[in-house]
Structure 1
């Protein structure tokens, strides 16, 4: 009888321990937050990798996994499918998605300028303005991406129809460079450090520059909030504690960017991000560092500028009532410690 009881207690204890172990494993898995970055080697999305390198996620008790996806539109789709909890990408997706009936909010606004440049191949000196895009193939990271949005805006604003030019998804970095070298695209929109590389080799020249606030306002008509951490409104509502911790980590990262030199920031980044030219990487960051917000707060006039740009060409927002107050939140950055 005693042996039977002992056996019963042993089995029961084993079951309890197994259940506890499974619960702990499940809890640990639930603690992981996956964030997809629309190309984390791009300087415009530098805060994502920098926050990881500085240990700010761990400092907040977060288990954050950064995943790399060259095109922001693909990162967006991964989030909508539930494969990731957040995206580091352009704020304009929050407006575009609301036009499709999906509610997504920018939680931390990284930048107030796109940090993008429209480059023209040196083989095509006939392209002197966006009006000359007619009949050309133009490089973008992906169809439906922010680079595609901005390219379409430039063309339509210059009097062209969307059918007058072709957007070609070529990604960024080496794939963009190869497309330009092979004349698969005659011009294209990209970011640092790709810009500096192509200017240094003489294979391209700048047509439109949106790396600075002044250049952005001249082209787009106002402050243009771009790189951000955005998430589904429903996830934010159900995970306020985690969202606050993410905001804490990113606001601290933005403060680091605002108070340290480009060289000090570059030293924290993976060496392969330099693309073999650390000096050029640092110089590009030095010139573009001012695009980052110091505190993650959405610029007050920014959302209206983005909506005005998208309204020029996008059927997703044309004729729709867009509630801009539901495309971003400042709650978490203002409470950030």
Structure 2
């Protein structure tokens, strides 16, 4: 199965869950910004959740399906069509050969993830297929996709084949879709003044009492100076230290909230550097990091303070939900296969 890029739109890259275990060598982890949407899209087409997907930013992308293609689109609430029919999000979709999948207006959110049965067939670089644009490694020749690029998919799994077979039974148009969906991870549906849960950081107590209070009380806006590396935040109150201090560079993580000299926090994200010398005022809970993937410059949010124990429980709950989704899909299509063969 192959996909031809007709129009890349604003930005489309190949991503998976990241390039881990190499940060000690200065290699950026990268990977999908919204890992919940990326993982769910893979599971919905019968893949392992770590397979490579397309990360599609905002709008304008058009992809031509040269063969019948089982795909799923999760993430931002976008208008997506194929052959004149609207493609539903958060469910498996079988698209006929010769159809173009077109991404139109983005109603909410910022990034969508398209997974195809088998996963995208691109070379691994240091254990990952993710594209790191600044380093020009991974993905499709280390760059964003362009018009005329052609992507291949690996052989589908047995589960993917069963899903495709079940969908073909009800096929009477350009696309075939089931009635059920898996929108539990649809962050883009709840972006009206969202709350981001965060723990206090290593250097939280070094800031003034006013700054500490305002971190969890004021509304922040995403600055135009934001990208996959990090989001700069603009608020009414800048973060100031109780007394001057300089630090040696230390390791940083996905969701680390740093405060540079100007006092405007920066939330480090997928393409973050491996170390940083700014003070760390907070750490975003893992479950809420994908929210930043769906926020755009100009969007607003608030931080809510939680404990490390609460953050750990939220993470465990989210992983349980992902396991339940995987088990439910396998059960549904294994049962369907048994009915068809009796």
Bigger CA radius of gyration: 1
Q: TM-score, normalised by structure 1?
A: 0.28
Greater helix share, structure number = 1
Greater strand share, structure number = 2
Q: TM-score, normalised by structure 2?
A: 0.27
